[in-house]
Amino acid sequence: MIFEPFSIKGLPFKNRIVRSSIGGKTAHWDGTITSAFKNFEKRFAENEVAAIISATIAVDEKRASPLQYPVLSHDRFIKPLAEAVKAVQQYDCRYIIQIGDVGGHTQTSLFNEAEDAKSASTLFDFFFGYKTLHRAMSQEEIEIAIEKFGEAARRVRETGADGLEVTASKGYLIHQFLNPAVNRRTDQYGGSVEKRFRFLEEVVRTVRQKVGDDFLFGIRLSAADYNYLPLNIRLPLRFPLRQWYFGNTLKENLYYAQKLKTLGVDYLHIDKGFGFINPKGNPGAFPLHEIKLYYNGNRHLSFKAWMRSVLVNTIPEFILSPLANIGWKDIPAISADEARRFRDEIGLPVIANGGFQDRRLIEETLQAGKADLIAMARPLLANVNLVRLFKQGAFLPPNPCTHCNRCPVRTANFPLGCYDPSRFASQEEMEAQILEWSAASDERLAYQENANSMAEQLADK
């Protein structure tokens, strides 16, 4: 079934494999994408994925996170993005732009800024975001945030993209409003499950109005929050403790999905967990060294950031490593069973995400009707030609992704690529692969051509 075409809202997908969002340092400091963004995306399209879902593109430039990640908060960002969209579409590959707002999970900033603390409620969360305290948004700030989603959605359509996805997952701002441990509001945006949905509902209504009824519009939704993973230090405690410990379960998320269907959303993209990164969203190993690197790089930003870095540097690794690894496990097709519940009970097309790589498992998931499309990130970063290999009959690539999870953390500081040394014969080989991903920019190629022609001219003299 992998190679059976599929369509959503009349939009054809040539096979069932979608490249999931992969964010990285592919923009200038102001958030305008560089040509590395285009070249990065193009490589997946050339290698036969049916569609690409972009990195989460920030709707608010004040919370571009991390720095040098793409932003869509102004019309000046449309043109360069439109060029990237076109470059992908020439390979009969659909391009869906995902937009989002990280809210209080903002990872880095030039300076400590009040905007980076904005969330559903005021609380202390040890693991996510650099701000010591997340702060509740005012009614006016909520309205501005919704407006920013709407304006970014309009821009998405103007880029010529095939569709738009809003992330209500990953522990980002919308997810912060949905999650009962994070949303402690007592106004119309918090309290009951209906009220926690209100922020997302207003975003969906605004976005739909901006992009029109004929434009593909999906939502990335977490099937269950698992607040206790990776580390639930959200203080003060929230009662009932069951909600604080687990967050939303499948039951509440099915309720949200039903409402989304009524609001006219076209598909659901299902993953699991709360926060980036978390063991349910990125099943595999805990990247302790990469987390240390990240904490060390940002410790100047706040007291909490400094404290985290002191802790990870002083606790001996033989104690820290087993503790930090609690809950981290490589679980294949981690959200496939939940995806089936959404597909069966809501009746919208479903993309399943997380822990796919083996062709047999992808085939089984599709055959069993658990999902219509399968999204992959890390395995495609490790083997960009994975779909071609499947076509040639392979079940797994010869050098598969190990789900070591170094890439999603390391690339907040460094270029995109695979950072697992066990997959490479030498450090030079690993470096060359990273350069191939991220530095294959038009500027570099032009520079190379220029250097070649200068060398020829010198040789002629």
Ligand X SMILES: Cc1cc2nc3c(=O)[nH]c(=O)nc-3n(C[C@H](O)[C@H](O)[C@H](O)COP(=O)(O)O)c2cc1C
Binding site for ligand X (CB under 6 A): 20-23, 55-56, 167, 170, 271, 281-282, 353-356, 376-379, 407-408, 411
Strands 124-125 and 234-235, sheet pairing: antiparallel
Residue nearest to ligand X (CB): 23
Compare residues 136 and 219 and give the one whose CB is closer to ligand X.
Answer: 219
In the bound complex, what is the minimum distance in angstroms from residue 117's beta carbon to ligand X? Answer: 21
Instruction: Please give the single-letter amino acid code of residue 101.
Output: D
Compare residues 256 and 419 and give the one whose CB is closer to ligand X.
Answer: 419
In the bound complex, what is the minimum distance in angstroms from residue 419's beta carbon to ligand X? Answer: 9
Instruction: Please give the single-letter amino acid code of residue 298.
Output: N
Triad 368, 371, 376: Cα angle to 5°: 120
Compare residues 395 and 447 and give the one whose CB is closer to ligand X.
Answer: 395
**Rounded distance, CA 278 to CA 287, Å?**
11
- Cβ neighbours of residue 295 closer than 8 Å, sequence gap 6 or more: 305, 308, 309, 312
- Cβ neighbours of residue 360 closer than 8 Å, sequence gap 6 or more: 395
Q: Is 304 helix (H, G, I), strand (E, B) or coil?
A: helix
In the bound complex, what is the minimum distance in angstroms from residue 341's beta carbon to ligand X? Answer: 19
In the bound complex, what is the minimum distance in angstroms from residue 394's beta carbon to ligand X? Answer: 17
Tokens matching residue 124? 């202390």
Compare residues 191 and 327 and give the one whose CB is closer to ligand X.
Answer: 327
Compare residues 23 and 163 and give the one whose CB is closer to ligand X.
Answer: 23
The residue whose two tokens read 């994975």 is 386
Closest to 106 measured CA to CA, from 419, 417, 438, 412 = 412
* Strand (E) or helix (H) holding 17: strand 17-19
Compare residues 250 and 434 and give the one whose CB is closer to ligand X.
Answer: 434
Compare residues 295 and 437 and give the one whose CB is closer to ligand X.
Answer: 437
Please tell me whether the peptide bond between 277 and the residue prior to it is cis, using omega within 30 degrees of 0.
Answer: yes
For 143, other C-beta atoms within 10 Å of its C-beta total: 12
In the bound complex, what is the minimum distance in angstroms from residue 261's beta carbon to ligand X? Answer: 21
In the bound complex, what is the minimum distance in angstroms from residue 94's beta carbon to ligand X? Answer: 16
Triad 248, 251, 254: Cα angle to 5°: 100
The residue whose two tokens read 């690409």 is 52
In the bound complex, what is the minimum distance in angstroms from residue 69's beta carbon to ligand X? Answer: 7
